[in-house]
Chains A and B, each alone.
Chain A
């Protein structure tokens, strides 16, 4: 039954996900090329210095070391890449809410389909997407690294921790979207609430860099546990960060599961 549900989801989302995956690969290849170009020229440092002060402060904090390896890792947290990956998770996570709202879910659950199985199919779809897209970024990094010439050896495997971190963040967001989808009756509401929370916690995490007032609240943001650049360029990896994100994913999906099992369709 899970296979049938997944096949249907794939049928619906194959172009969206395929396009996004190719876009991520291409974007990361481009980023590696840009990084190599900067590295060959005056370097990323000069690029950073050319930025306005407030953006410089913002980006310089994010880019742990203004170096080519950091530029490659930046692909895993570039706002455009991150938006694409997280939007895919929100769309997938709120699909049960959408099917409940449209009435399709009623028809499906009137078949011998356990509610848990339906939700497990959504979880599998979320999990596969959370694996696929970060690996596409990694593939882009690997392809880019194989095409450019830079001083010193930089293996693509150095970015595996970034990939895992992005997967963990996507799972946390997907779990939250799934939970939201079981709490409200409309998919639009679930999407809006999830996006509002993501945006506010992203802003919180960013502003907390500069504000001592917001610092104590920073732990509330999932982005606080997502630092791909240090993970790639400054080992050892802080495995506690993905662990927190995975715990968040586990908690929200458990809450979604409990709610979905009991709720009226």
Chain B
């Protein structure tokens, strides 16, 4: 079995005052697209810099393609886009791309100019932008240049820190498409972001970091399935609120015909609580609908629903944003 493309073991970086990264373990296999999520200051960029040997760990090791990350030769297989991209602003975009491509060991082939041209076209980077000095370019154009630089040599590992920052919607779409293509072609993508919807669309696995610690590492499917699922039930008759007071079931919203009683998630009565009993009296009188948050077994809830005339039943798809919120709420690990 080939070694992991990225292997971080007990990786720690101490900047003092508790800031940094704490014993992070992470492995990425070939073909994986990992969404690396976390708010500002959580340790995403530190992790990337450690993995690329730009900064040195206090403890732990970082390996790429089975070799210590400090070996410069490995980085010809890496395409990197920093979160705070700074290019040599005195060069034109074309000169910058050629210069970055020239920084490769002797004997290795240069990036294919056709590939570069294709990337420029897909990212809507016209020749007029390429021939202009970077100092005069917009942030979005510079970001596109950084992206072309990361992709132009078709690296086996792409490390992209906030790749869509500053891009227009069309270019953003193109970047997400490029990432998906890279994953499908067996390349590994390390996609660091705090734009959850983008990670949701590209990643096969998600890692969530908080305060320098990895708090969750799951496939997207597992992560979604482990969440509280939402269930929307529309009854032909009155909402049986009393009966819905089951373990693992929370009433988020009860809506009866002609009037609505919305209970926020925060104030919603937990299963079996006095609050839900209170809601029952008001909502049970007429037909309506109910929005539930369900965790754990569904059978008891389905048994209740089976006893009542249900017109419509729906499970809105939980998104990653919900997972993110749950992990950053106060009671998260």
Contacts and interface: CB of A to CB of B under 8 A. Distances in A.
Interface of A: 1, 4-5, 8, 11-12, 102-104, 106-115, 262, 264-265
A20 B233 CA distance: 81
B55 A111 contact: no
Given A1-B102, A111-B100, A112-B103, A103 B75 contact: no
A130 B91 CA distance: 25
Interface string B46-59: 00010010111000
Given A1-B102, A8-B99, A107 B72 contact: no
A112 B82 contact: no
A112 B73 contact: yes
A109 B54 CA distance: 7
Given A1-B102, A262-B56, A110 B75 contact: yes
Contacts of A12: 90
Interface string B148-159: 010000000001
A1 B72 CA distance: 13
A5 to B, nearest CB: 8
B103 A4 contact: yes
B331 interface: no
Interface of B: 49, 52, 54-56, 72-76, 78, 80, 82, 84-88, 90-91, 95, 99-100, 102-105, 108, 146, 149, 159
A112 B85 contact: no
Contacts of B159: 110
A262 B57 CA distance: 11
A203 B173 CA distance: 62
The CB with the most chain A CB atoms within 10 A, among B56, B73, B88, B149, is that of B88
Contacts of A102: 86
Contact of A107 (B74, B80, B102): B80
A114 B71 CA distance: 8
Nearest to B98: A4
Contacts of A104: 86-88
A107 to B, nearest CB: 6
B99 A113 contact: no
Given A8-B91, A264-B55, A265-B55, A112 B86 contact: no
Contacts of B85: 103, 107
A112 B72 contact: yes
B129 to A, nearest CB: 19
A264 B56 CA distance: 6
B103 A108 contact: yes
Contacts of A110: 52, 54, 75, 78, 80, 82, 159
Contact of B104 (A103, A109, A112): A112
Nearest to A109: B54
A8 to B, nearest CB: 6
Contacts of A114: 72
B87 A107 contact: yes
25 contacts: A4-B99, A4-B102, A4-B103, A11-B90, A11-B91, A102-B86, A103-B82, A103-B84, A104-B86, A104-B87, A104-B88, A106-B86, A107-B86, A108-B100, A109-B52, A110-B54, A110-B78, A110-B82, A111-B104, A112-B74, A112-B75, A112-B103, A113-B72, A264-B54, A264-B55
